[in-house]
Structure 1
Amino acid sequence: METAEIRRRWLSFFGERGHTVVPSAPLVHEDPNLLFVNAGMVPFKPYFLGQETPPFSRATSVQKCVRTLDIEEVGKTTRHGTFFQMNGNFSFGDYFKEGAIELAWELITRSQRDGGLGFDEKDLYASVYHEDDEAISLWKKVAGLSDDRIVRLGRKDNYWNMGVAGPGGPCSEILLDRGPQFGADRDWEAGDRYLEFWNLVFMQYELENVRSKEDFDIAGELPKRNIDTGMGLERVAYLLQGVDNIYETDEVFPVIAAAEDLTGRRYGADRDDDVRFRVVADHVRSSLMLIGDGVTPGNEGRGYVLRRLLRRAVRSMRLLGVDAPTLEHLLPVSKERMKASYPELERDFHRISQVAYGEEDAFRRTLAAGTTILDTAVASAKSSGRSTLGGAEAFALHDTYGFPIDLTLEMAAEQGVQVDETGFRALMAEQRDRAKADARAKKSGHGDTSVYRRVSDTLGREVEFTGYDQVVTDSRVRGLIRGGEVVERFGPGDEVELVLDRTPLYAESGGQLADHGRIRLSGGAVLEVTDVQRPIAGLVVHRATVLEGEGAVGEDAEAEVDVARRRSISRAHTATHMVHQALRDELGDTATQAGSENSPGRLRFDFRSQQAVPAGALGEIESRINGVLLDDLPVTADIMGIDDARKLGAMALFGEKYGERVRVVSIGDWSRELCIGTHTPRVGQIGVVKLLGESSIGSGVRRVEALVGVDAYTHLAREAAIVSQLTEVVGGRRDELPDRIAGILGRLRDAEKEIAAVKQAQVLGAAAGLVSSAREIAGVRFVSHDAGDGVSADELRALVLDVRTRLGNERPTLVSMASVSGGRPVVIVATNEQARQTGLQAGALVKVAAQALGGGGGGKPDLAQGGGTDPTQVSRALGVVEDQLRARGA
């Protein structure tokens, strides 16, 4: 039975029995404690915790899940996987133990012909919490299980809680006896004989003082008892499909089969290869599903997990012998298997594939550069008698070249060298701490937020923001912080953080920089505000310098905004909304915001895209924005319900959490976004927007920068002056300038090509003499040549291939050459077909040669290249290849 059919039967079975069929939630969840949804009950957590009232009394779902704790174990065992699907049925104060057991037993034992899963009753067992006599009697009553088929287990195995105070209760698992070939009789914990595939959680108690999974106190009965069950879809699939593990099921194995075709190797033939095949299959599917739910590769959080999965898949294919791009062959296979359950994958596959293929291309470049550097570092360690690569070296590979530590560990181990992982982790922690300290210094002035909590508690409510309508507001001083301590007074020259109960000054958020301004106290003190932040929710802190006078908590105050700065920032913020809308109009709805900064006269807008914006398209976007400026559309802000905002088409930021009431900023009927920032009343007040260009800032994320208003006019005037100067230098009219410069550059390129052609001809001119110098060693025609200094790798490769071609394919031929270019040695080895049939592999030979140069290399059996750091060892490197050849004939 195919996995999609098991899924369909599950939803149909419970749907027909009064359960609301709830679609799978996205893998990215609003819970800040979770990177991804990792269990089927996660979307229902607010109902179990009593935070929300469930809209149904019973529900069912097949939930997408990702768990990342055991990424390194994927492929090494047949149980560890990152993406999986969890079938669940849930009761919220409706049926309880008896109903859950009846439903489970009916579905799994009903014949497949009648819509069930068709498990044989004689092979099924149940485990229960050892004190749950009610569940034991129900298994006997409902399923007819005898005592010897009911297993009593303790809290570790059969009691569920969330890890914090709240609901919990005993659980009961359904196990399948797979037979004596999988383990000993009645051995419940060892081996794979008794396999649990469905867990029924009986949520009936309120727990408190939860110290661990097994150590907690039961406060009493819940007012409403609930049911939470989970059946692993992949696990049931491999049981029903007669295979041994999740990797061999119908949704996963086709990727392994495609990898077999690409590599020429066979799954099941080699243990190490099997691990790599399984890593590829698991990670390709997980990446497909994560990108489908909006995750893009990055260096932190969810993005880092996705990047790691994709790169491990690519790396595993390289270890299986394929150096060429492979995701373009594997990802579509996974999509074809998964689209039956998730049709949106077909619809969004263009976007998904572009993200994945772009990351593979980026990683291939990283791998090429990082491998050479790593090989050099390993060779250096070995030559100095060390068996460990230093933590600083591993950190440099990660920090400077983007080489992941897990690959450094794997590749160093392949060369028999360990890595000082402890030293690496320490340096990473130091870097992370510095980054956090910098962020805290900017946002709060110091790392201890408890001081803000104390001020907030005395305030008793959120600070009111009046800046949408006012630039001057009467207020009162409610809190003072100086040097990280709460104080009651301040004096001239003090640097303080001041809290008012009302303020017109905007605190930095949503990409908009903070207002500047002044605060005047009733006692005569004047403070200059240089920053405004929200260090904790509901609290606005004004960072200020006391220009004159003294003041104290409780004084009346007048807060005033620097209007010129506010207007300049507001123009930039409104222009940012316009850039966002114009990009979507030009590139499509996938060009969604990934970040922004609105500063005086300037904006920065980051958006998701796998490809650069063509220069012509950027011009169209700029033209469209300035055309709308001429229309002088009004900019309005309305507070409404989140559902109404969505109906109006208001854009929201991916990953942001919004309340039930939101602020919608509209530019006429042309653009609508959820936004809390300040804006110009009409777009005509912006004046002009000048896009400076766009660039990549990471895989799948690009950046547009622009000038706004007076800053844009100044920039255009400066550009006009530069054009005038260039026109004087090259002559002619302004409109002829591009053609004249293009002509000059074209002539320069032609001259460079002629010089390169002459140099190439000189190098290739040596080919005839090298052919005549071929020697016979161990039955192989062999040419070895030191091309000297100044011959590039490309030129050397052309010479090697020319000599190999001239020697023909009638007899085994091996060509080995080296040169030095830019102070770095390079070695290239080529074999013909006859030589390869005798076992001569260019890739293997070049690795040995490159080691002599203090580096590394690799390539295909017919042509391979290596390099190093020691140009004085070129003769030795060539000699090593000759020694390898002679050793064959010994």
Structure 2
Amino acid sequence: MQTAEIARRYLDFFAKRDHTIVPSASLVSDDPTVMFTIAGMVPFVPYLQGLVPPPFPRAADVQKCIRTNDIEEVGKTARHGTFFQMLGNWSFGDYFKEGAIQYAWELLTSAEADGGLGFDERDLWVTVYETDDEAAELWKKIAGLPEHRIQRMGLDDNYWSTGQPGPAGPCSEIYFDRGPKYGRDGGPIADDNRFTEIWNLVFMQDLIADVKSKTDFRIVGDLPKKNIDTGMGLERVAFIKQGVENMYESDQVRPVLDRAAELSGRRYGADHDDDIRMRVVADHVRSSLMLMSDGVAPSNEGRGYILRRLLRRGIRAMRLLGVEGESFDALFAASRDAMKSAYPEVATDYAHISQLALGEEETFLRTLSSGTTILDVAVAKAKDAGAGSIPGDTAFLLHDTYGFPIELTLETAEDAGIQVDRTEFDRLMGEQRSRAKADAKSKRRAVADLSVYADFRAKGETVFTGYTDLRTDSSILGILVDGVPVQRAIAGQTAEIILAETSLYAESGGQAPDQGAIVGDGFELHVLDVQKPVKGLISHTVTVARGEVGVGEPATSVVDADYRRGATQAHSGTHLVHAALRQVLGQSAHQSGSFNKAGYLRLDFGWNKALSAETRTEIEEIANNAIRDNLEVVTREMALDDAKELGAMALFGEKYGDVVRVVDIGGPWSRELCAGTHVSTSAEVGIINLIGESSVGATNRRVESLVGLDAFRRFAAERALVSELSANLKARPEQLVDRVSELSANLKAAEKKIAAFEAQALSQRIPALVANATRRGEILLVAEHVGSLASGDDLRSLVTSVRGQLAAEAAVVALTAEVNGKPVAIAATTEAARAAGANAGALAKRMAGILGGGGGGKPDLAQGGGTDVAAIPAALDAVRAEIG
């Protein structure tokens, strides 16, 4: 039974039992405390916790998930994978234990001909929470299971919670017996390899508090509405139903594994280590494909770092299979073909996904060639020295400079039989993070426990009136201070304010939040930030500038009109630049990210090379022509499918609801899905001035622009600068480029002449220095101070030239000079002098120590320096004493 068929049967089964079929949420989680959708229940947490009223009493879905905490186990076990799909059925205060158990048993054991999954009842075991007698009795009643096939487990295994105060409850898990070949008998308690978990039923019935760990908390009461949360692993069911050994050999994964085997010329099943590598490739390529289809791009931070790690582990596994060159083109195409029937977007967006993957592979293969050399040298050095580890600063250099994930360094070192000084690496990483935090302090304040918003959200969605009104009368629904609900906030405090209606725009879709105020009788609140902490709720972070404000009081949200005007200009300007980009570069130049605020916009787009000055000018001109043409801007709300049918552009990686807002500029000239605020006609944007274009990754570029009055001010400043240069250089503006080029050429010519004169002057000093050589025993010594020089290179040239004149002798040359106010010392020896025991490195180190610095080098040539110019005579005397 194919994986897609299992999913279809699951959804059909529950659809016939009055469950709303919910499409999979994005792998990029809406929950600010979770990076990815790591479990099937993540999209439903707001409903389960009572944060948001559920729109349906019961639901079913196939949810795609990413989990990388067990990444080291990928390929080694039958069930560990970073991307997986969870089949779930949900009840929000509707059916409970009996219904969940009945549905699960019926679907699993019904014949395939009747739409079931056709499991033999004799192969199924269950576990229940150790005190859940009710569940145990229901399994006996509904499934007829004997006592010994219902096993009881404790909090670690059979009790679920979010790890936060709130809903929790016991679990009941269903296991499949794979047979004696896979381990000993005795049920899941005896061997969880032979007995593979396929379905977990969570009975959410308790309210917990004082949560210290998974097993240390206090049950404080019953939930007023009991919920059901179930999850069945689609990949696990698939490999069992397909009669293969593990999930990597199932139909959605095996094609990539086979392609890896074909490219490497190795046979799957012939070598244990090679098999693991092929499974790693198959898993990581599929996971990367799915992440990129949801808009994640490789980077060095957050989600992008996880994706980059997956891609690079895949590349490394292919190298260990003997494939030195590029392989992603073939591997990703195989994964696309295996997944597109279940997720059509991987084929629709494949051009962009492929561009990201191939760009990352090309970049990392270059990184490997340079970084691997450093790592190999470090490994060899550690082994030669008998050390058991690579220094932490070497690992940090590889990570920080060459883009080597620390995990890759650890794995490579482990393969070589040594370790990495992880403590030192972590210390250096901590210092770097501290610097980054100091450089990027954010005004945003996060509340980790989102349950504080539940009562506010239960009163309904915040009504946003700001599309048409800049001032809205409302009332204060709630106040939070330091994340805790309070009744009042006083002057000087920072607080979060929840209003029933607001005209202030909350940050989203790349648009920065509005600036403005919230005012009322006797109080004035200055708005610092506007966010959406949970879906449908808008929160205003404010400082209480005057008076005292309380819950329930009338309040008016007031948008700063000048700021909003600039913000709408910038957001509409972003759409104009995007349309211009695609007109000039083609449809593959697809927006991958944006940010706009009053007077400024930046736009990231898929492209793999820098834009020429001519191309930038053309894009800027097209955008400004659209402004000149005063195109009408129309916004409409419609169903998502209708909007796509109309040709509205859904931006790659963005998430949309069933009803979307379509923004047209000039009809189809620019038609995008967008919830931001916009001008009424394009002429209101004013002017667009592209001020920058840069790389933000191997396959992404960024353009930045000033908009409106800010753009005009930049042009005015540049005009003033041109006027000043014209006056100073006595040239008309159109002549400035030639005039500056002429001056630059003259300067280079003058510098070349000066360098020639300086070289001649230095060469003229050589005979006198040679003539001043004194014999000290069998060695001829030149130890002199030559005064001030332009650079240390000049001194080095002088030293080696003097040594060249004395090459036939056993000679030592030690010269000092003052360079930029600091002493520099260089020593050189001839071959005969070295045979007599002279060492330039030791001499340079001795001089540098006296000069207040450090130095050293090879026996034939070495350099040092310091800070004490007055110590130069003493440094030369030390050389004379050493040689004498």
| Mapping for residues 475-874 of structure 1, pairs under 5 Å | 575-584=573-582, 586=584, 587-588=586-587, 591-596=590-595, 603-609=601-607, 618-633=616-631, 683-684=682-683, 688-692=687-691, 694-706=693-705, 709-711=711-713, 713=715, 724-726=735-737
Structure-1-length-normalised TM-score = 0.66
The worse-fitting range, judged by mean Cα deviation, of 424-433 and 380-389 is 380-389
**SS state at 1:205 partner:** strand
| Mapping for residues 94-243 of structure 1, pairs under 5 Å | 94-186=94-186, 188-192=188-192, 194-209=194-209, 211=211, 212-243=213-244
Q: What RMSD, in angstroms, separates the aligned Cα atoms of the two structures? A: 5.4
The worse-fitting range, judged by mean Cα deviation, of 574-583 and 318-327 is 574-583
Counterpart of 2:57 in structure 1 is: 57
Structure-2-length-normalised TM-score = 0.66
- Deviation, structure 1 residue 306: 0.9
- CA pair 174-657 structure 1, distance change in 2 beyond 3 A: closer
- Contact 1:183–1:191 at 8 Å: present in 2 too? yes
- Deviation, structure 1 residue 584: 4.7
Counterpart of 2:481 in structure 1 is: none
Cα deviations across residues 681-711 of structure 1 (Å, max 9, x unaligned)? Answer: 8654665434356332224431113455435
- Contact 2:382–2:389 at 8 Å: present in 1 too? yes
Counterpart of 2:347 in structure 1 is: 346
The worse-fitting range, judged by mean Cα deviation, of 414-423 and 231-240 is 414-423
Cα deviations across residues 126-157 of structure 1 (Å, max 9, x unaligned)? Answer: 22223222322222222222222222222322
**SS state at 1:698 partner:** coil
- CA pair 114-650 structure 1, distance change in 2 beyond 3 A: closer
Counterpart of 1:400 in structure 2 is: 401
Cα deviations across residues 98-147 of structure 1 (Å, max 9, x unaligned)? Answer: 33223222222223333322222222222222322232222222222222
The worse-fitting range, judged by mean Cα deviation, of 321-330 and 396-405 is 396-405
- Contact 2:650–2:673 at 8 Å: present in 1 too? yes
**Counterparts of 1:636 and 1:242, CA distance in 2:** 56
Residue 370, structure 1, aligned to residue 371, structure 2: yes
| Structure 1 residue identity aligned to 2:257 | I
- Contact 1:86–1:233 at 8 Å: present in 2 too? yes
- Deviation, structure 1 residue 317: 0.2
- Contact 2:175–2:199 at 8 Å: present in 1 too? no
**Counterparts of 1:221 and 1:621, CA distance in 2:** 62
- Deviation, structure 1 residue 82: 0.4
**SS state at 1:296 partner:** coil
| Mapping for residues 434-445 of structure 1, pairs under 5 Å | 434-440=435-441, 443=443
**Counterparts of 2:470 and 2:15, CA distance in 1:** 55
- CA pair 662-144 structure 1, distance change in 2 beyond 3 A: closer
- Deviation, structure 1 residue 75: 1.8
- CA pair 17-443 structure 1, distance change in 2 beyond 3 A: closer
| Structure 2 residue identity aligned to 1:72 | E
- CA pair 710-219 structure 1, distance change in 2 beyond 3 A: closer
- CA pair 653-172 structure 1, distance change in 2 beyond 3 A: same
- CA pair 643-118 structure 1, distance change in 2 beyond 3 A: closer
- Deviation, structure 1 residue 308: 0.8
**Counterparts of 1:116 and 1:507, CA distance in 2:** 47
| Structure 2 residue identity aligned to 1:79 | R
Q: Which runs of 5+ in 1 are unaligned?
A: 454-461, 472-486, 491-495, 518-528, 545-550, 555-559, 732-740, 742-869, 873-890
- Deviation, structure 1 residue 594: 1.6
> Percent identity, aligned pairs only?
53
Alignment coverage as a number of residue pairs: 701
- Deviation, structure 1 residue 541: 6.7
Residue 279, structure 1, aligned to residue 267, structure 2: no
Counterpart of 1:821 in structure 2 is: none
Cα deviations across residues 768-825 of structure 1 (Å, max 9, x unaligned)? Answer: xxxxxxxxxxxxxxxxxxxxxxxxxxxxxxxxxxxxxxxxxxxxxxxxxxxxxxxxxx
| Mapping for residues 252-291 of structure 1, pairs under 5 Å | 252-291=253-292
- Contact 1:506–1:532 at 8 Å: present in 2 too? no
- CA pair 109-510 structure 1, distance change in 2 beyond 3 A: closer
**Counterparts of 1:552 and 1:220, CA distance in 2:** 40
- Deviation, structure 1 residue 287: 0.8
- CA pair 707-342 structure 1, distance change in 2 beyond 3 A: closer
- Deviation, structure 1 residue 81: 0.9
- CA pair 724-507 structure 1, distance change in 2 beyond 3 A: farther
Cα deviations across residues 734-793 of structure 1 (Å, max 9, x unaligned)? Answer: xxxxxxx9xxxxxxxxxxxxxxxxxxxxxxxxxxxxxxxxxxxxxxxxxxxxxxxxxxxx
**Counterparts of 2:138 and 2:505, CA distance in 1:** 62
**Counterparts of 2:701 and 2:23, CA distance in 1:** 32
The worse-fitting range, judged by mean Cα deviation, of 36-45 and 327-336 is 36-45
- Deviation, structure 1 residue 283: 0.3
Cα deviations across residues 185-242 of structure 1 (Å, max 9, x unaligned)? Answer: 2153343455243434352523222523333333444343332222111111121222
Counterpart of 1:68 in structure 2 is: 68
- Deviation, structure 1 residue 179: 2.2
- Deviation, structure 1 residue 314: 0.7
| Structure 2 residue identity aligned to 1:205 | Q
Residue 17, structure 1, aligned to residue 6, structure 2: no
- Deviation, structure 1 residue 313: 0.3
- Contact 1:297–1:306 at 8 Å: present in 2 too? yes
**Counterparts of 2:97 and 2:447, CA distance in 1:** 48
**Counterparts of 1:365 and 1:139, CA distance in 2:** 58
**Counterparts of 1:105 and 1:639, CA distance in 2:** 43
- CA pair 184-576 structure 1, distance change in 2 beyond 3 A: closer
- CA pair 42-694 structure 1, distance change in 2 beyond 3 A: same
**Counterparts of 1:378 and 1:532, CA distance in 2:** 52
**SS state at 2:79 partner:** coil
Cα deviations across residues 508-548 of structure 1 (Å, max 9, x unaligned)? Answer: 9987899999xxxxxxxxxxx9x97779985667999xxxx
**Counterparts of 1:49 and 1:321, CA distance in 2:** 50
Residue 84, structure 1, aligned to residue 84, structure 2: yes
**Counterparts of 1:40 and 1:694, CA distance in 2:** 40
- Contact 1:197–1:236 at 8 Å: present in 2 too? no
**Counterparts of 2:364 and 2:126, CA distance in 1:** 48
**Counterparts of 1:683 and 1:146, CA distance in 2:** 73
- CA pair 3-411 structure 1, distance change in 2 beyond 3 A: same
**SS state at 2:69 partner:** coil
- Contact 2:506–2:514 at 8 Å: present in 1 too? yes
- Deviation, structure 1 residue 79: 2.6
**SS state at 1:406 partner:** helix
Q: Which runs of 5+ in 2 are unaligned?
A: 453-461, 472-488, 517-525, 550-557, 724-731, 746-856, 860-884
| Structure 1 residue identity aligned to 2:132 | D
**Counterparts of 1:12 and 1:552, CA distance in 2:** 59
- Deviation, structure 1 residue 327: 0.8
- CA pair 292-384 structure 1, distance change in 2 beyond 3 A: same
Counterpart of 1:45 in structure 2 is: 45
| Structure 1 residue identity aligned to 2:286 | R
- CA pair 583-276 structure 1, distance change in 2 beyond 3 A: same
- CA pair 258-383 structure 1, distance change in 2 beyond 3 A: same
**Counterparts of 2:343 and 2:656, CA distance in 1:** 27
- Deviation, structure 1 residue 290: 1.0
Cα deviations across residues 559-607 of structure 1 (Å, max 9, x unaligned)? Answer: x99999998887666534421343355543872252335576x654333
